[in-house]
Amino acid sequence: MRIAIISSGFLPVVDGVTVTLHQRLQKLSDRGHQVLLFCPDYSAIPAVYPDWKAYTGELLPGVRVVNLASEPFMDLDFERNVTQKSYQTLVQELKKFQPDIVHVDEPERLFMGFLKVPGVSFAKQARIPCVSFFHTNFIEYGKDYFSFPAIVDTALKFMVQSLFVWIYNSYDATLVASRVTQQKIAEMGIKNPILNSHLLGVELAKFDLKLRQAQFFEQKYQIPNVAHKVKLVFLGRLTPDKGWKFTIEALPAIAQMINLEQVAWMIAGDGPLREQISQEFSRFTSHVYFLGRIPPEEVPVLLINSDVHITASEKETRGLTVLEAFAAKIPVIAPRAGGLTDSIRDGWNGLLFNPQDHNDFVKQLKLLVEDETLRQSMGAKARETAAELSWDQAVEILLQLWQEQIDRKSRPRLAAADNN
């Protein structure tokens, strides 16, 4: 199969979209498929991503990456988006490649750059399918970054939602990996969702539990005296959409109910909130450690040497880091919101707290901090969950869905040929 993928991002940026995409490319290459990937150009920010050249050009056998001219996205120094002028490059490369299908990750974000629905016009002219993948509910992110009067906020949300619905309904299908997310986008008015809960996965073999070492953080990060502490890890961008406002506001309750000498806070990621998070945590504990951006290949050993993964984000459409934590045999604490509830079975492989409820959050956290047996029991069940979600299976399912769309497009052409 010849597959063109247009993505809002790729490595060296590390997030759920880029890690998912990299895993897919590896599996597609292993199976002998030909893939042309389009993504923003990161060469303009070498100070942030000095290794950007490692992820462009001939990446893997049969996989080529084309970087499109880019510009800053939402004033974040580590994020880029495509430009309007780069769309011509996209079309030229698609014509040369002649794909069987076009797949688009986060088309609404790409639309903001291209000012066109990416891939659809070309696919119609070529009479091939064009599908989208719903990764991120950007509509819900607005209140994390902008503050408007209620009436203005409501009006803007309506206009943006109408635009996003139009964008997604332009595709032959919208793939989604979470039942909760599928229901949400259907309520928005997106009429073409295809739900499959196995479209994401983990490479369980990379999460070798033998990687757990008593002195890991001392040897890897020069952090002393944490071997006997409960290590709470946050893995993700330090940006408003990841629930950091809630976490910071919960700190007084945490300090009141939990012995902070028992725990070490491992914050893996970077972003504009780093300094604020550091200042707020330092008011309550000295045992907070910023590990910076973690390359995907180092995530397994980090999680395996942690005890609990915490996320306060209420907007995840599935939550890849949750599945990775499960593979590392550690439980997750998360809000009862979004696609996270499709992965976390409350009280079984993790704990859910009521959104924006600081006391409930601290109550759940206290349970896992103080009960090692509970952590181990939930961790074992989390590992069982991860074992059911492999990237091999995820890519096989994706290939089946793509082939179904290709067959559906080809039937009218075959019928027309028969009639002639």
- At 43-97, the pLDDT tens digits run 999 988 999 999 999 999 999 999 999 999 877 777 899 999 999 999 999 999 9
Instruction: Kindly state the tokens that stand for 113.
Output: 């750059």
Regions of the chain where pLDDT drops below 50: none
Q: Which residue has the tokens 């209620």?
A: 150
Q: Contact 40/80 with Cβ under 8 angstroms?
A: yes
Q: Return all residues near 76 (Cβ < 8 A) that are at least 6 apart.
A: 239, 271, 272
What is the per-residue pLDDT for 16? 87
In whole angstroms, give the CA distance from residue 83 to residue 110. Answer: 9
The CA–CA distances, whole Å, from 357 to 193, 336, 362 equal 32, 10, 9
210 phi/psi in degrees, rounded to 5: -70, -10
The CA–CA distances, whole Å, from 388 to 181, 197, 323, 336, 355 equal 20, 11, 10, 22, 28
What is the per-residue pLDDT for 91? 97
- The CA dihedral of 117, 48, 61, 297, to the nearest 10 degrees, is -110
Mean pLDDT in the chain? 93
Which of 346-353's residues contact partners 24+ apart within 8 Å by CB, and which partners?
348/378, 348/381, 349/378, 349/381, 349/382, 349/384, 349/385, 350/322, 350/378, 350/382, 351/378
Q: Write down all domains in the chain, each with its CATH number in brackets.
A: 2-201+390-419 (3.40.50.2000), 204-387 (3.40.50.2000)
CA 387 to chain centre: 19
What is the per-residue pLDDT for 280? 97
Instruction: Kindly state the tokens that stand for 282.
Output: 């330092």
What is the per-residue pLDDT for 137? 74
Per residue in 183-199, pLDDT (tens digit) is: 999 999 999 999 998 99
Q: Which amino acid is at 173?
A: A
What is the per-residue pLDDT for 55? 96
**What's the predicted TM-score (pTM) here?**
0.91
What is the per-residue pLDDT for 338? 87
**CA–CA–CA angle 91, 97, 101 (5° rounding):** 85
The HSE-up count of residue 187 (CA atoms within 13 Å, CB side) is 7
What is the per-residue pLDDT for 70? 96
Q: Are strands 230-235 and 308-310 parallel, antiparallel or unpaired?
A: parallel
Q: List the one residue out of 115, 23, 13, 144 whose CA is nearest residue 67.
A: 13
Per residue in 140-158, pLDDT (tens digit) is: 666 666 666 777 667 878 8
What is the per-residue pLDDT for 160? 87
